Amino acid sequence: EAAVTQSPRNKVAVTGGKVTLSCNQTNNHNNMYWYRQDTGHGLRLIHYSYGAGSTEKGDIPDGYKASRPSQENFSLILELATPSQTSVYFCASGDQGALSDYTFGSGTRLLVI
Amino acid sequence: QQKVQQSPESLSVPEGGMASLNCTSSDRNFQYFWWYRQHSGEGPKALMSIFSDGDKKEGRFTAHLNKASLHVSLHIRDSQPSDSALYFCAASDFCAGNKLTFGIGTRVLVRP
């Protein structure tokens, strides 16, 4: 069954440390996305990718980097984690074109202390 | 300012009742709309899409789009306890490809 798998499911990080969130999709979708979900803000787009080797800035990219080494894998990197980055992070994949929906992973809950 | 605004923030409906959710876009480029549903502890799942003016019905769910006012609604008929979830409206424009902008969500509670 096609799916989007995120790891880890939960992560506790220290302020100033480096955090890498991983995402793998078996949907053979070209596009992949990273969102964060916070109460009162809904889902906000951090970075996205149109294919292997490409990354684009979303609406709130500051403090985050992304890496798309292959069609299947898309990582979100926090080089210097801050408490304001405590959130639930969702990865999603989608087909090209404006008319296709996303498949989301189950999320990574990140706590930065 | 949120480009996709949802109302109400939350609503409670009796089992078997009708739940009505609203969504408005402030960006006239947004022409394509989706509804996503998120149960606690899970990722959002696409519920239905609507791209043309008028109604679209899928089972107990009916979406209505008015492109002139950029207003889309979702109506859940015969609500079930399993419909209790967070519902997101999402929108995109053709030029942005497949990049979706989400609202902040409406939390629906179906009372047994």
Q: Taking CB atoms and an 8 Å cutoff, what residues of chain B touch A99?
A: 32, 49, 51
Q: What is the 3-state secondary structure (H, E, C) of A73-91?
A: ECEEEECCCCHHHCEEEEE
Q: Is the pLDDT of residue B83 over 70?
A: yes
Q: Which residues of B touch A43 (CB under 8 A)?
A: 44, 88, 102
- Alpha-carbon distance values, B60 to A42, A56, B3, B47, B74 (Å): 25, 38, 28, 11, 10
pLDDT in tens, chain A (113 residues): 669 999 999 999 999 999 999 999 999 999 999 999 999 899 999 999 999 999 999 999 999 999 999 999 999 999 999 999 999 999 999 987 667 889 999 999 999 99
Yes or no: say if A87 and A37 are a contact pair by the CB < 8 Å rule. yes
CB contact under 8 A, A98 and B93: yes
Other CB atoms within a 10 A radius of the CB of residue A26 amount to 13
B73: closest CA among B11, B15, B1? Answer: B11
Nearest CB among A31, A35, A59 relative to B98 is that of A31
pLDDT of residue A1: 63
What residues of B are in contact with residue A57 (Cβ under 8 Å)? none
Write down the residue that tokens 């990219």 correspond to. A61
Q: How many CA atoms lie within 13 Å of B43's alpha carbon, on the beta-carbon side?
A: 22
Q: B100: which DSSP letter?
A: -
Q: Which of A42, A90, A101 lies nearest to residue B34, judging by beta carbons?
A: A101
Are B42 and A106 within 8 A, CB to CB? yes
Whole-number pLDDT of residue A100: 81
Report the distance separating Cα B104 and Cα B109, nearest Å.
Answer: 16
Q: Give the pLDDT confidence score for residue B93 in this predicted structure.
A: 80
Q: Any CB–CB contact under 8 A between A1 and chain B?
A: no
Quote the percentage of chain B above a pLDDT of 70. Answer: 96
β-strand pairing of B61-66 with B4-7: unpaired
SS3 sequence of A16-60: CCCEEEEEEECCCCCEEEEEEEECCCEEEEEEEECCCCCCEECCC
Distance from CA of B86 to the nearest CA of A (A): 10
Strand partners, B85: B108
User: pLDDT at position B40, please?
Assistant: 95
B102 vs A40, A43, A50: nearest CB? A43
Backbone angles phi, psi at A68, to 5 degrees: -125, 85
Is A45 an interface residue toward B (CB < 8 Å)? yes
Contact A90 B44 (CB under 8 A): yes
